[in-house]
């Protein structure tokens, strides 16, 4: 029996379910990049907001390229279960917020039509760091931002709204970039300037791009997870998602129009997300990436195993306490010490199965906001950052191919670099004054020598 509208009433009694009338809800949200993270996070908040009486926020999911999620969810009428797992057990909820999934590469006109639909108020995004098509200096990479990019769909959808005399939209970036809303606004403006300069003023006036800090650890669902979930709910759920009990969503309260009452179900709506976002990127994600590269090179596979190795746990702790936290000006009531302790406990969740290899993906897109900005801030304050330097050495080994095939949009470039240059040359090309990341942080002579020595 496969999960769907026809079978949802026959699920095992322990499965919690939404209670609102799904058919009566208009789709107020188009979400681009409907992977596991969105389904465990924003869709879960929205589902509970509709459960508390908020109306018309059903989500139309969009995958830019891959038909995988559409194949999982459409035969299930958009339904899937979310399992919260910890050492104490598992809690499962049936989520009704997702209406269905469009695949942009297959039906581009349908995606544009949804963005342009009068009931659409919000377009949100989890397209990962690389989906923003940024060059290393943060500007729009016009080669990458082509017809299949998020900007092309947004540009066409916004143009259609304008032609129809409809209002603008709130564009909500839910990706792990510093100042994600402002970056999206800047990149979208740059794209419009090139492709539809007439629309740029309208976009800047009618649309808003609030910044967000999003947090929930969501491992890629493994085949064994699907089997366990199916056994627990009494139906096959190809769209099953597994996550941790913890979740946080801090949202800049600056929308172009109506929005769900997410604050009624645990989100924080605040005037500025900066302190939360910086702490999350530099502490949680910074430690995650360090554990990934340092752990993989020691043959460790999972995050909970990595923090079980005393030397790795100590490095993650020091990175957060001595290197990241001193660079953050906390918001009032934000306790970075407590945050660090909670993060180590979350990393240790033995029921999650979060692979280090998943975190190690796309490092070229992640390390600027996770490590390099911390390095730059510490340099300015005259502090050293030995753990991040060790993590950079581990990342350099990783992109050399030491841990196996490299999953990164710049993988070929890294392979060529390592094939043609020695360690010093590679470091200069990446972190030298004119280097790829040189605008954010440049390695000094002492740091280069340290990195060369540890690369052996
Ligand atoms: C992780 C994040 O894969 C990664 O790079 O660091 O996905 C992390 O699990 C989330 O940001 C947690 O909110």
Ligand 1 center–CA 416 separation, angstroms: 28
In a domain, 53, yes or no: yes
Ligand 1 center–CA 285 separation, angstroms: 6
Please tell me whether residues 258 and 388 are part of one structural domain: no
Q: What is the pLDDT of residues 203-249, one digit of tens each?
A: 999 999 999 999 999 999 999 999 999 999 999 999 999 999 999 99
In a domain, 2, yes or no: no
Please tell me whether residues 239 and 286 are part of one structural domain: no
What is the band of 456 on the pLDDT scale with cuts at 50, 70, 90? confident
CA nearest ligand 1 atom 6, residue = 285
In a domain, 201, yes or no: yes
Domain boundary among 235, 270, 305: 270
In a domain, 3, yes or no: no
Ligand 1 center–CA 16 separation, angstroms: 26
What is the band of 344 on the pLDDT scale with cuts at 50, 70, 90? very high
**Can you give the pLDDT at residue 218?**
98
Please tell me whether residues 250 and 282 are part of one structural domain: no
Please tell me whether residues 236 and 355 are part of one structural domain: no
**Can you give the pLDDT at residue 76?**
98
**Can you give the pLDDT at residue 305?**
98
In a domain, 1, yes or no: no
CATH number (domain holding residue 47): 3.40.50.720
Backbone phi, psi, residue 438, to 5°: -60, -25
Position 55 pLDDT exceeds 90: yes
Please tell me whether residues 203 and 84 are part of one structural domain: yes
Please tell me whether residues 179 and 103 are part of one structural domain: yes
Please tell me whether residues 105 and 76 are part of one structural domain: yes
Q: Does residue 215's CB lie within 6 angstroms of at least one atom of ligand 1?
A: yes
Ligand 1 center–CA 193 separation, angstroms: 32
CA nearest ligand 1 atom 3, residue = 359
Q: What is the pLDDT of residues 147-205, one digit of tens each?
A: 999 999 999 999 999 999 999 999 999 999 999 999 999 999 999 999 999 999 999 99
Q: Candidates 220, 285, 291, 366: which one to mutate for ligand 1, based on the most atoms within 8 Å of Cβ? A: 285
What mean pLDDT, rounded, does the chain reach? 97
Please tell me whether residues 66 and 82 are part of one structural domain: yes
* CA 174 to mean position of chain CA atoms: 6
**Can you give the pLDDT at residue 137?**
82
Which residue segment(s) compose the domain that 172 sits in?
A: 8-270
Position 325 pLDDT exceeds 90: yes
Ligand 1 center–CA 359 separation, angstroms: 7
| Cα–Cα distance, 222 to 211 (Å, whole number) | 31
**Can you give the pLDDT at residue 136?**
80
CATH number (domain holding residue 335): 1.10.1040.10
In a domain, 121, yes or no: yes
Q: What mean pLDDT comes out for the span 277-304? A: 98
Please tell me whether residues 153 and 245 are part of one structural domain: yes
Q: Does residue 359's CB lie within 6 angstroms of at least one atom of ligand 1?
A: yes
Domain boundary among 211, 239, 270: 270
What is the band of 95 on the pLDDT scale with cuts at 50, 70, 90? very high
In a domain, 255, yes or no: yes
Q: What is the pLDDT of residues 423-454, one digit of tens each?
A: 999 999 999 999 999 999 999 999 999 999 99
Could you tell me the pTM of the whole model? 0.96
CA nearest ligand 1 atom 13, residue = 215
Please report, rounded to a whole number, the percentage of residues in the chain having pLDDT higher than 70.
Answer: 100
Give the nearest ligand 1 atom to 214 CA: 13
In a domain, 298, yes or no: yes
Domain boundary among 225, 249, 270: 270
Handedness of CA 253, 321, 373, 141 (dihedral sign): negative
Ligand 1 center–CA 217 separation, angstroms: 6
Please tell me whether residues 412 and 290 are part of one structural domain: yes
Ligand 1 center–CA 130 separation, angstroms: 14
Ligand 1 center–CA 357 separation, angstroms: 12
* Domains held by the chain: number: 2
Instruction: Say if residues 35 and 71 touch (Cβ distance below 8 Å).
Output: no
Backbone phi, psi, residue 32, to 5°: -100, 125
CA nearest ligand 1 atom 8, residue = 217
**Can you give the pLDDT at residue 117?**
98
Q: Candidates 180, 359, 367, 395: which one to mutate for ligand 1, based on the most atoms within 8 Å of Cβ? A: 359
Please tell me whether residues 241 and 281 are part of one structural domain: no
Give the nearest ligand 1 atom to 285 CA: 6
Please tell me whether residues 77 and 35 are part of one structural domain: yes
Q: Does residue 288's CB lie within 6 angstroms of at least one atom of ligand 1?
A: yes
**What order of strands is seen across the sheet that includes strand 29-32?**
98-103, 59-63, 29-32, 122-125, 170-173
Ligand 1 center–CA 175 separation, angstroms: 10
């Amino acid at each position: 029996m496969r999960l769907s509208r026809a079978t949802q009433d026959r699920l095992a009694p322990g499965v919690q379910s939404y209670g609102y009338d799904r058919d009566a809800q208009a789709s107020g949200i188009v979400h681009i990049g409907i992977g596991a993270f969105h389904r465990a996070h924003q869709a879960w908040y929205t589902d509970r907001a509709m459960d508390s009486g908020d109306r018309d926020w059903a989500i139309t999911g969009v995958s830019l390229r891959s038909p995988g999620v559409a194949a999982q969810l459409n035969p299930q009428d958009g339904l899937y279960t979310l399992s919260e797992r910890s050492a104490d057990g598992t809690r499962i909820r049936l989520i009704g917020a997702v209406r269905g999934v469009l695949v942009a590469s297959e039906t581009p006109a349908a995606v544009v039509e949804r963005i342009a639909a009068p009931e659409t108020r919000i377009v949100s995004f989890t397209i990962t760091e690389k989906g923003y098509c940024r060059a290393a200096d943060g500007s729009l990479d016009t080669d990458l931002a082509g017809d299949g990019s998020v900007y092309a769909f947004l540009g066409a959808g916004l143009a259609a709204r304008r032609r129809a005399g409809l209002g603008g939209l709130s564009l909500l970036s839910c990706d792990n970039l510093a100042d994600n809303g402002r970056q999206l606004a800047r990149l979208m403006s740059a794209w419009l300037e090139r492709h539809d300069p007439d629309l740029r003023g309208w976009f800047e006036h009618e649309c808003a791009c609030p910044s967000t800090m999003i947090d929930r650890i969501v491992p890629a669902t493994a085949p064994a997870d699907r089997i366990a979930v199916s056994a627990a709910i009494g139906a096959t759920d190809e769209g099953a998602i597994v996550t941790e009990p913890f979740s946080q969503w801090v949202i800049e309260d600056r929308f172009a129009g109506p929005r769900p009452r997410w604050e009624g179900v645990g989100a924080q709506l605040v005037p500025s997300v900066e302190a939360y976002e910086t702490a999350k990127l530099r502490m949680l994600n910074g430690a995650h990436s360090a554990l990934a590269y340092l752990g993989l090179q020691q043959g460790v596979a999972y995050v909970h195993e990595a923090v079980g190795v005393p030397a790795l746990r100590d490095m993650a702790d020091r990175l957060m306490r001595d290197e990241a936290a001193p660079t953050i000006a906390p918001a009032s009531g934000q306790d970075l010490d407590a945050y660090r302790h909670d993060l180590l406990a979350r990393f240790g969740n033995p029921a999650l199965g979060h692979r280090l290899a998943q975190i190690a993906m796309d490092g070229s897109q992640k390390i600027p906001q996770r490590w390099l900005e911390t390095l730059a801030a510490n340099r300015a304050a005259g502090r050293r950052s030995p753990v991040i330097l060790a993590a950079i050495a581990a990342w350099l080994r990783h992109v050399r191919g030491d841990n196996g095939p490299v999953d990164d949009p710049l993988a070929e470039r890294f392979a060529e670099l390592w094939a043609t240059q020695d360690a010093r040359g590679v470091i200069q090309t990446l972190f030298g004054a004119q280097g790829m990341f040189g605008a954010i942080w440049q390695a000094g002579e002492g740091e280069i020598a340290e990195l060369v020595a540890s690369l052996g």
